[in-house]
Amino acid sequence: MSHPHPELSGPPPLPAGALRVTPLGGLGEIGRNMTVFEFGGKLLIVDCGVLFPEEAQPGVDLILPDFSSIRDRLDDVVGVVLTHAHEDHIGGVPYLLKESGDIPLIGSKLTLALVEAKLAEHRIRPYSLQVAEGDVEQIGPFACRFVAVNHSIPDAMAVAITTPAGTVFHTGDFKMDQLPLDNRLTDLATIAELGKSGIDLLLSDSTNAEVPGFVTSEREITPVLDRVFGRAKGRIIVASFASHVHRVQQVCDVAAAHGRKVALVGRSMVRNMAVARDLGYLKVPAELIIDLKEIDDLPDDRVVLMCTGSQGEPMAALSRMANRDHQVRITGEDTVILASSLIPGNENAVNRVINGLTRWGATVVHKGNAMVHVSGHAAAGELLYFFNLAKPRNFMPVHGEWRHLRAAADLAIKTGVPRDRVVIAEDGVTVDLVEGVARITGKVEAGYVYVDGSSVGSVTEASLKDRRILGDEGFVSVFVAVSADTGSIVTGPVITARGFGLDDQTLEQAKPLIVDALATAAAEGIGDTHQLQQLVRRAVGRWVSNTTRRRPMILPVVVEV
């Protein structure tokens, strides 16, 4: 079993007839999925998603894959295959197309429709190629065969990519629900056929590799929702992913059975469900869906709100309701259902939302106390079944944190994949398939690229560290004007503190230390303002540390007059 080494250097030139696989996101994390395949000087990308920020990344809206390793080769990209329309697989597409707008997008009908709706907000009109399960498309030197897989969104597909180097099978996100709501099963027959023909390298979703058994069928949720609806006396608010068409369908079906109307809340929810209804993936009577403005005209026991915010996102509808920052005011009669899985890293944010809703008296139903959501990812039993069908010669787990990748690798070995043919990589690590053997050969840059408002890439780890210090410790600013001739103080020092907890009288104690430091500098002939600022920073820093045992950000400003 091979694994990356932190001292890996850049990969060597790709040998003739070999295939290179470079994940730029999705390994060691849940999200930001993007994999680049290279053969014969051409590149094929599978997925281009985003990762959502954690608490340690204040002010960040989204995290993108790092395009730097392919930025000079965008003309070589023959297409982007999109396995399905979840944000962690398509959210980065607008930012990629802003760098090169003529890259073709390849995906299923619903996937492309949701991507195109997203791109319209960025004023981008892509070239797209719609495919369906069973189709085979020659995209540059890559022969792509599309295979139906079941997931928590309709129209998901895996892709078998064949070149003279061999066949790589990329599952995308998948599970093996035998009773899916849309009756669209994972195509085990085609997977078995591919396995019999020979899969040289398998890249498989690993998210649930630690979970034993099989994932519960989506159909099992409907009776649970029915019971919750039956007990609810007031409004029902359901939070889910904005692209979870199946869950919205279930909520609409149960709402109709209980004589309730459904209002969609949240821009992405409204947009995505409009697309799904237009294409026939969401089937609801026209009179069932109402505008949010109409809910005040109905009794509370006739209303269902379907909204975003199941992950505790601060600006999403549910978080704003919990914070009393939304037109929907939570009351003690409301029932709130969090109908989604919990993405790792979002635990604190979700708990804050649950506590906020409970504070206002709402009854909160979530996966921890009722089966209102099932995962969209294959559990260990399904993966074992799948590996035995696929019979890969080499295996590379993708789409998961480190523990998930390792668990999936162990499952593959149990089904007969030789240990030395299992590759556990990380973002940026290049894996070359040469003469039927997959090996790690190097590493390219694959760091986080932060989106902050309209800024892409300008926020660095250093600036995030500054934000964390400001949030945790506050800041102290010092202004001093000194004479350009003598170095003596003309004005100040003026000390201001924010988020620090010291009053002005206490801050006065630091002024003599600043005066002494500048006087010593003047006596020694130090007149460079940068050096003087560092002297002030150190003097104030020592005083703050000794006085409060705190380490705020210190911002000294020294000017000459």
Annotated binding-site residue numbers: 373-377
Query: Do 97 and 124 meet the contact criterion of CB atoms below 8 Å apart?
Result: yes
- E strands, 32-185, in order: 34-39, 42-46, 62-64, 77-81, 105-107, 128-130, 136-139, 142-148, 157-163, 166-170
Residue set of the binding site for substrate: 373-377
Query: Do 384 and 411 meet the contact criterion of CB atoms below 8 Å apart?
Result: yes
Query: Do 152 and 186 meet the contact criterion of CB atoms below 8 Å apart?
Result: no
Pairwise CA distance, residues 260 & 258, whole Å: 6
Q: Are strands 303-307 and 261-265 parallel, antiparallel or unpaired?
A: parallel
Residues pairing with 477 in the sheet: 496, 555
153 Cα distance to chain centroid: 16
Query: Do 438 and 431 meet the contact criterion of CB atoms below 8 Å apart?
Result: yes
- By the 10 Å C-beta count (0-12 exposed, 13-18 middle, 19+ buried), 359 is classed as exposed
Pairwise CA distance, residues 191 & 179, whole Å: 19
The widest CA-to-CA distance across the chain, in whole angstroms, is 87
Q: Is 190 left (phi over 0), alpha (psi -120 to 50) or beta?
A: alpha
DSSP codes, 228-267:
HHHH--S-EEEE--TT-HHHHHHHHHHHHHTT-EEEEESH
